[in-house]
Structures are given as structure tokens and as C-alpha cells.
Amino acid sequence: MSEPAIIRPDKQTFLAEENPFEAMMERFDHAAKLLNLDRGLYKVLRNPEKQIIVSIPILRDSGEVEVFTGYRVLYNTSRGPAKGGIRFDLNVTLEEVKALAAWMTWKCALVNIPFGGSKGGVVCDPSTMSMGELEKVTRRYTSSIIEILGPDSDVPAPDVNTNERVMAWIMDTYSMHKRHTVTAVVTGKPVEMGGSLGRREATGRGCMIVTREALAKLGMSFKGTRIAVQGFGNVGSVAADLMAQAGATIVAVSDKSTALYNPKGLDVQELLKWVKERRQLGGYTKAETISHEQVLTVDCEVLIPAATENVITRKNAPHIKAKIICEGANGPTSAAADKILEDKGVFVIPDILANAGGVTVSYFEWVQDRGGYFWDEDTVNRRLEAILVRSFGEVMAMAEKHKVANRIASYIVAVDRVAGMHRLRGMYA
């Protein structure tokens, strides 16, 4: 047997909480140790394949030239083309993009779809940009990384502050360079351009499916279950809507503008209509306004953090009352908070399983584009459910086998699959 990997000494807690890549790697290290991963594979899997930094100069509507910074990280492509979103946000950093690319690698392996992991981002504030300026940034960013893009190499998707329109611009830019239409270069496109039915709702639907499985495992159901949703964007709003339809009571929701609470239940359909008209929850008066922090600690059975990274930390984890946490966002729980939640007996559905619905239906979209044959929405949803139910069962079995928390069990399944592919392929030198 190969000599076990030398696992890094523990980092200081605050470092892991502040650095998303180190937080992710702390979980990877735990899984690697339990798998007795050999030194060489450990080194390979701990380092991204490619890290690209580009400058994105554009001419703003005012006539001023501005230069933005863009990133794209391909973490691992041993199992197939890299897959990962593109976000436009002022807080984008290389460390964050690296962490998210690694998460995508493990996520795709966990649900056993033939993709590796990547991620990208541009440091900008879309809310201050006109549609024309946003298109310029998107197209210039795409052309700057075009050498690595492609249906067989790297396939982007929407993420924070990007959407179907941005994916359409990316697809068009890539296609213009290739001199023919290439629909499979991105996923999350408009349906008219080769997007998949069910893709927009897929991540939220996935959260609903795995939460249903977790409730069943604990002898509960959606009927009468109180749920708090932190982040009422695409993922959180769809999850809240589907769970409310299944009989759950949504007691709290939040977005950047406000946080709302009603112990008797919020009218999700009314909230969806409100947000569609006003683009935010702010101003809604048929509920109590609470602090954003309180959404995480309200009295409920299920908490869905569906906003950004590191919102559950060692500071607020002791005050969380939920029995189940379904991580709709990537990396919402710090490594330090994991231990606290485990000691409290909270059933955590980790991000690489909980929000894998999006990449699973992105895989379906990629398959449909390449085959030129498109499925009806029922087929998409049925196949999504089959994959997530199977993956949930595999994580539960691994957790019981190794007597570890669900998060570490999910990493064991994922890392073992990626490592297994490297063993089969060998090393090109």
C-alpha cells in the first residue's frame, strides 16, 4: 500500500474561516486521510490545473476607459471537461475562484457526472453598469479566455450576478470566433438558444429533493415543517416555493435589502410576485422585519443558507435552532462551525450535494446540445431526482461506514472518484 499522504498541520481557525480555499481544503484533507490517499495523488488533487488572470478594458458609456480584472480557474479535468459558473461581483478574488473550482470538481464527482471543475469571475459591480457596458465586459472577458473554453474543455454557466443573457453573449462571442454556432459551450442559456427546460429551477429543486430525503430519514415530512431561507435569489426563492407547495411553512426569508419573519408562515407566491415587480424584498409590509443575522437563528426545523460563503461561523453556529441545514449556497458553513453543528446534532446536507441540482441539469443541457435532441421538462426533473436520490443514499452509506459527518462522507465519495480516475489514466510525462 502506498504511504499515506502527509496532511497539512491544522491552520488557525480564523484563517480557515477567512480563506475559502483553505476552508474547503480542510475538508479535503480529512477525506484524503480517511482514504489513505498516497502522497503523489494528494499533491495532484490539492493543486488547480490552470489559473488565469486577465485584464478587461472597456469603453464606458461616459467615454472613460475602465479596466476590470477577470479570473478563470480549471481545477481538475480528469473526469471530463471543466464545468463551472462565472460571477460578476466586487468581492471576487483568486482564492475564492480556486475554492469554487475545487468545489465544482467534488460536486460533479459526487453526483457522478462526467465533468471536472472550474470557476470564473470578474471584479465589477453590475448594478452600476448599463446593459451595453455589461455586454462589453462579458464579450471581452470571453475573448480573453477563449483558448480554454469549449464543449470538450471548459463549459461555463451562470453564477452570482450573471444570467441567461450573459450566457447568450458568451455563446455568441465564442461562436463568432469559431465561425459556426456552438450551443454546448455554455449552459444556463435561454431555452430558445439550446437551453434546457428545468435548468433555471434546478438548483432550488435539488434543494427540495435532498431536504425531503433528509426529513424522511429523520422520520419527518414537509407537512408542518418550518423553514427559514437566507437568500431569496434564484436558488432560495425556487426552493421556498417548491417546499411551500409540498406543505412546508416558510417562516423567514431574506435578501440584501431586508429580512422578513412570520411564525405562522409567509405567503411565498405573494413574495415572488413582489420581487418580480420590485427586484427585492425591501418594502414588503405583511411580515415582521428582523435582522439578517436573525434569519439564521430563528426557531425552525430546516435552515437553507442560499446566499454566499461563510455565513454560518463559530460565532453564530451555537445559536442555530434548525435540525437540518440544506446548503443552497457554496461554502456557507465554515470549517470551525462544522464541529459545533456536529456536536449539536444538526443534520447538514453539504453544499456539494445540496446544490448539485444546477450542475446536474447543466449536464443534461450539454448532452441535449451535443445530441441535438431536447427533452420535455418532466423528463429533466425525473432524471434529476433519480441522480440526487441516489447520491444522497451514497453519502448516507459512506457516513455510516466511516462514522463521519455528512460533509466528510460526501468528500470521501467525491475525492475517491477523482483519485480513481487518475489511477486509471496514469500520469503523462
Q: How far apart are CA 264 and CA 210, in angstroms?
A: 24
Q: Are 406 and 397 in contact (CB under 8 A)?
A: no
Q: Which residues contact 206 (CB under 8 A, 6 or more apart)?
A: 354, 355, 356, 357, 358, 360, 384, 388
Q: What is the DSSP string of 108-146?
A: HHHTT-S-EEEEEEE---GGGS-HHHHHHHHHHHHHHTT
Q: Is 351 helix (H, G, I), strand (E, B) or coil?
A: helix
- As given in the structure block, the three cell numbers for residue 135 are 455586454
| Catalytic residue (choose from 83, 119, 136, 323) | 119
Angle between helices 377-402 and 406-425 (to 10 degrees): 100
Q: How far apart are CA 395 and CA 10, in angstroms?
A: 25
Q: What is the DSSP string of 209-233?
A: HHHHHHHHHTT--STT-EEEEE--S
- As given in the structure block, the three cell numbers for residue 419 are 483519485
Q: How far apart are CA 257 and CA 72, in angstroms?
A: 30
Q: Are 409 and 31 in contact (CB under 8 A)?
A: no
**119 catalytically annotated:** yes
Q: Are 203 and 187 in contact (CB under 8 A)?
A: no
Extract the runs of DSSP E, i.e. beta strands, from 152-301. Answer: 154-158, 226-230, 249-254, 259-261, 288-289
Q: Which residues contact 158 (CB under 8 A, 6 or more apart)?
A: 85, 86, 164, 166, 167, 188
Closest CA to 302 of 242, 369, 376, 365: 242
- Catalogue the active-site residues: 119
